[in-house]
Structure 1
């Protein structure tokens, strides 16, 4: 099994990069896991309390569970990953069954920030996109998909998103094996990753 970690700032295009690779490989050979599914559950808190949590800090994620699931997949076992509901800042009662595939793609803000998580990856990728583009994508996504107001998106960006990007995400770029500027629009970068995954599928090694 080949596990590829894809990190990058909010709105950088890391999910689009992962999906582009998935489209080229097909669902029979690859599976995509989002680190967002592994936000720690705070259902015991009130909605107002949950809204005050810094969701952009590395400690906001249950990386221990994510690593446990990656280890299980590598050993050929299926896993039930959490389903996170961003509208209420808590995990749903539902889970998603993920079965082992030749290639596992893991995308998320802090995939490269955590040393233990990095150790579970075979290829480490960082998607590097201009900050202006990233914030515009963030605004559109949070308003259209997550029910946020414009003011709440701006407040969160200034209070946690940008500071956490500067403190943790940008520095994690140094751990990347491959840096892809401009996300899925970089077809050369996508082709390079696809070539690596094809080589692994055919020969069992990079």
Structure 2
């Protein structure tokens, strides 16, 4: 392994599967360490379409993401170069005008529904994690989240789930499970899987001479 190279951990799964809970559990286990989270959602493409047309875009399709930009910025972070990360505004279904300055870190967690769908992204990852959660649980979580945090109506959330989210999950996201090194049922509640991940990360940190 390359000494001093950051550790890149990919965490994926369906919408509302618990990816963030797994990422947060890793964060909590490395409190005070040099670590950052890079969300694929930040890399939705900018659109010049009117708002009503943007609402109809399939945001669970690989073409909805600016994957080349994500790959370039992840490559920069691995090379210890800072980036200007884009910001996505869910209320307007579009990329915001501001960016966020992100400095390199020793541990990089890349989280998103389709991060394992692209071979160039997979090749940058040291550990690939798939969070496997039942469809019924995911749709209930999504309804609660989108209504509370993203200003969506119940009808809007259900319509989007049935027309794009669910079909895209089975067509594009679930097949990427075969690329995962670790499959985590139940997300952040699976303490055994989290402990295994943390142990592996500590081992790689030691191998690369990255102090915890």
Query: Which range, TM-score by smaller chain?
Result: over 0.9
Q: In structure 2, what is the equivalent of residue 199 of structure 1?
A: 203
Is the alpha carbon distance of 1:27 and 1:163 closer, same or farther for their aligned partners in structure 2, counting shifts above 3 Å?
Answer: farther
Which of 135, 139, 144 aligns to 1:140? It is: 144
C-alpha deviations, 1:139-190, integer Å up to 9, x for none? 0000000000000000000000000000011111001011000000000111
Match of 2:180 in 1: 176
Q: Normalising by structure 1, report the TM-score.
A: 0.96
Structure 2 partner of 1:113: 117
Q: Tell me how far apart the structure 2 counterparts of residues 60 and 27 of structure 1 sit (CA, whole Å).
A: 34
CA distance in 1, matches of 2:198, 2:10: 14
SS in 1 for 2:57: coil
Aligned length: 204
Residue deviations 1:15-39 (CA, integer Å, cap 9, x gap): 1100110111125421011100000
Q: Which residue of 1 aligns with 2:67?
A: 63
Measured in 1, the distance between the counterparts of 2:120 and 2:62 equals 12
What is residue 40 of structure 1 aligned with on the other side?
A: 45
Other-structure match for 2:22: 17
- The structure 1 residue matched to 2:82, chosen from 73, 78, 81, is 78
Query: Cα RMSD (Å) of the superposition?
Result: 1.1
Deviation of 1:122 (Å)? 1.4
SS in 1 for 2:130: strand
Q: Matches of 1:27 and 1:57 in 2, distance apart?
A: 36
Moved segments of 4+, more than 6 Å:
none
Secondary structure of the 1:100 match is: coil
Unaligned runs of 5+ in 2: 1-5
- Would you say 1:95 and 2:99 are equivalent positions? yes
